[in-house]
Structure formats: C-alpha cells, structure tokens
Chains A and B, each alone.
Chain A
Amino acid sequence: MAAGSDPELRSGHGLEMAMGRMLQVGVTVAALVVLAGGILYLHQLGSAQPDYQRFHGAPAALESVHGIVGGLSHFDPQSVIAFGILLLIATPICRVIFGVVGFALLRDRFYAGVSLLVLVILLFSFFSKR
C-alpha cells in the first residue's frame, strides 16, 4: 500500500468528516428515543422507589435485541429506552462499517481489511452466547 500522498490524506479526512456527521445524527436520534422513553417511564413510574442496590439482572425481555423490539409494540417505557440504547450502540458499529466501505473506496485494501476484522469482533459480541 502506498504511503499517504497528499490527495489520499485529504480524502481520508473527508471520510472522517462523513463518519463524524453520521455519529452525530445517530447519537441525536438515540438520545431523543431514550428521552421519549424516559419521559414515559417517569410519567408511569416516577413515584415508585428505585431498586438498584442488589443485582438481579435486567428484566429478561430487555436482555436481547429481539425482546426489546417486542416490547416496543405496546410502548413499554423501558423497552423504548432500551431501543434508544441499541441505536446508540449501533453508532460506533456503523462507524466501523463506514470504515470498511470508505477504505475500500480509497483503494486502501489493508485498512478495509482491518476495519472488517474490527466489525467481525463487534458482531461476535452480539451474536455469541455468553
């Protein structure tokens, strides 16, 4: 792979700019969904007592992507918040996908491969059983 000539450096920076914008949009959408779920939650359960001192895990439905999306259909507040959190987790993953595509477009095969490897590691975290 060629050492970075000037035009390549510039297009590399363009890739960064595109990634930055994508992250910004992703985080904004995720935060709005979490906020909506939070308002719903505090409206319904705001006067209940918090119970976080002892660990007993999250409700089973909130421990998987499938369960969270299922809870969305009846506007369960915690599922809405959890869905926002999933969107948030997706932003860095999208960033890596951006890297795969972006480096491929720059004809930087080595870094397209590196990005792909990072993507595989990330997906392993979500689709492997503990």
Chain B
Amino acid sequence: MNNLYFSAALFGTSILAGFLGAMTGLGGGVVIVPALCLLFRVDVHYALGASLVSVIATSSGAAAAYVREGFSNIRIGMFLEVATTLGALLGAYLTAMVSGNWIGVIFGVVLLYSAWTSVHGHEARPADHPVDPLALRLNLRGTYPVDGRQDEYVAEHVPAAVGIMFGAGTLSGLLGIGSGAVKVLAMDQAMRLPFKVSTTTSNFMIGVTAAASAGIYLSRGYILPALAMPVMLGVLVGSLVGSRVLTVARVKTIRLAFVLVIAALGIEMIFNGATGRL
C-alpha cells in the first residue's frame, strides 16, 4: 500500500472517528489511536502525535457550533483548564518513560472505562441540594436553556472536580487523547452541571489541554506531518458533521451505539499491549 492509498484509507477512518468523537463528547482520539495501532500498524508514539493534532482540530472545529447553542461555560472551563494543562505537561513528560505496550494497556483501560460510563451514564438527580459556597465565590455558575426558558445552575464538589481534571489532563498528555470521558465525569458527576453543559464545556477545554502537550510532542518527534495530515483533515470533517447532529439527536441512543465499538477497541488494545505487539 503506497502513501496515496494509505492516506486515503486513513482519511476515511478518521472521518468516522471524528464523527463519533464529536457526538459523544469523547473526542476523536479514543478511536484514532487504536485504529492507527491495530488497523494501520503505526508505532504507538506516532499514533499519539497524529491523534493529539486531531484532538485539537476536533475541539476547535466543533467549538463554533457549540458556542452558538450557548451551552458551554467559559469560566468553569478556564478554571478547570489550570488543572488539565498541568496534568497534560506531566502526561506528555511521562510518554518518554513508558513503553508503547504499557501505553496500549493503559489506553485499553481508559477505553473500557469510557464504555462503562457510557452505559452507566448520568441518572436524574434530586434537584434539592446545598449550594457550594466555594463555587459561588469562584462564580462557577451559569444558565442553561430548558424548554425556552433559562434554568440556573451552580457547580458542586469543586475540589474533587479539580483533582479529576488533573487526572484527565495527565491521561490526555500520556495517551494523545482529549480525555473527554473523564472531563465529562468531573463536570457531570462531581460538579453536577447539566449534561450538555458538561459535554460542550469539555469539548471547549480539550483543545487547550491538548495544546499543552503539543509542544512537548513536537520536540520529541511524535508529530509526523505526513501521517497527521489525513488524520487531522478526516477527523475535522467528521467532527463538524457530528457536532451538528449532536444538537438534534437523543443523547442516550448515541451512547449505546458507541459503547460496543469503544469496548471492543479497549479489549483489543489491552490484549496487544499485554502480548507485546504494539
């Protein structure tokens, strides 16, 4: 397979990855890295580099559409980005010390976790709960459109969310992904923000988190332009379509459709990493 066919096949795969990533708020990286490693037999570190580039494209490309909807919360996003970017520096630093096979195993575990949260996603919560004074002091609040009117929300469990976000950033830097699942966990489950506020704010944060790892990836030679090119363009196309569908589709259906793919890729990555094939 020469460069032309290789790039074309990669472009097609990346469109699909971007589409699924944007619809679920998980980002294209969780599909692109396993696809590159397992399907295209690309070295793990090159896969991380190409994925990280596509992650930034996904985040920035879909942001315009999300912003129009008015779901994302820029203060909450910026506040949590302090934790995610610091984590990303740590994660990117760790990639040089962890072997490709170990990265594969950790990747697989994160994939299975993402699949698990997709099934056991958010349940309806009691509306009556004490307001976190720290969240009020930090102005971590906003409004969310429900049936044509604006509902107010205030973040809860702020310290826990910051801790989870640092972890999300570390995973992002270590695995070349956006860690959307973990970011959504921090905002949906810890801060108890409305689900669409969590997913769209997460998408907004992903690009900034990935940019923190990008400088380190670049200087280590993980980012191969010729490999990143079809991945970035494909994921961008897919994510633009996906973010358009996001605002009209039912969230639950998307998750169930995605969970099987993610879980299968996770098992595949763990198996290949554990048997030293990556």
Chain A positions near chain B (C-beta within 8 angstroms): 1, 3-4, 9, 12-13, 15-17, 19-21, 23-24, 26-27, 30-31, 34-35, 37-38, 41-42, 45-50, 52-55, 57-58, 60, 62-64, 77-79, 81-82, 85, 88-89, 91-93, 95-96, 99, 108, 110-111, 114-115, 117-118, 121-122, 124-130
The CA of A107 and the CA of B139, in the complex, are separated in Å by: 14
Given contacts A24-B63, A41-B229, A95-B207, contact A121 B85 (CB under 8 A): yes
Residues of B within 8 A of A128 (CB): 215
- Whether B139 lies near A4 (C-beta < 8 A) is yes
- B180 interface residue per 8 A CB criterion: no
Chain A residues closer than 8 Å to B139, beta-carbon distance: 1, 3-4, 108, 110-111
Asked whether A16 and B46 contact (CB < 8 A) given A38-B229, A52-B224, A122-B85, the answer is no
Known contacts A46-B7, A111-B139; 16 further A-B pairs (Cβ under 8 A)? A30-B57, A37-B229, A38-B233, A45-B226, A50-B1, A58-B49, A63-B219, A63-B221, A64-B219, A92-B60, A92-B211, A122-B212, A124-B89, A125-B214, A126-B214, A126-B215
Offer 15 A-B interface pairs, CB within 8 angstroms, sorted by A.
A24-B60, A26-B60, A27-B61, A45-B226, A49-B3, A50-B1, A50-B3, A63-B218, A63-B221, A85-B225, A88-B232, A122-B208, A122-B215, A130-B93, A130-B219
Residues of A within 8 A of B223 (CB): 58, 62, 82, 85
CA distance A99 to B6 in the complex (A): 40
Contacts A57-B221, A64-B218, A92-B59 given; does A47 touch B208 at CB 8 Å: no
Known contacts A3-B136, A19-B63, A38-B7; decide if A53 and B56 are in contact (CB<8 Å). Answer: no
Judged by a CB distance under 8 angstroms, whether B182 is at the interface is no
Selecting from B71-79, B108-116, B122-130, the interface stretch reads B71-79
Bound form: Cα–Cα A108–B139 in Å? 10
Does B253 belong to the interface (CB within 8 Å)?
no
Instruction: List the B residue with the shortest CB-CB distance to A4.
Output: B139
B: number of interface residues (CB 8 Å):
72
Cβ distance B43 to chain A, nearest Cβ, rounded Å? 4
Q: Is A57 a contact partner of B220 (Cβ separation < 8 A)?
A: yes
* Cβ contacts B47-90/A at 8 Å (1 or 0 each): 00100010011011101101110101011001101100110110
- Which residues of the other chain, B, contact A57 by a CB distance below 8 angstroms? 220-222
CA distance A57 to B211 in the complex (A): 19
Which residues on the A side are within 8 Å of B1 (C-beta)?
49-50
> In the bound complex, do residue B3 and residue A46 qualify as a contact, i.e. CB atoms below 8 Å apart?
yes
Choose one: B40, B63, B86; the contact of A52 (CB below 8 Å): B40
Please determine whether A53 and B43 come into contact, CB atoms closer than 8 angstroms: yes
> Chain B residues with Cβ under 8 A from A78's Cβ?
225-226
* Closest B residue to A79 using CB positions: B225
In the assembled complex, which residues on chain B have CB atoms less than 8 Å from the CB atom of A125?
Answer: 88-89, 92, 211-216
Question: Is the C-beta of B35 less than 8 angstroms from some C-beta in chain A?
Answer: no
Interchain CA distance A126-B211 in the complex, whole Å: 9
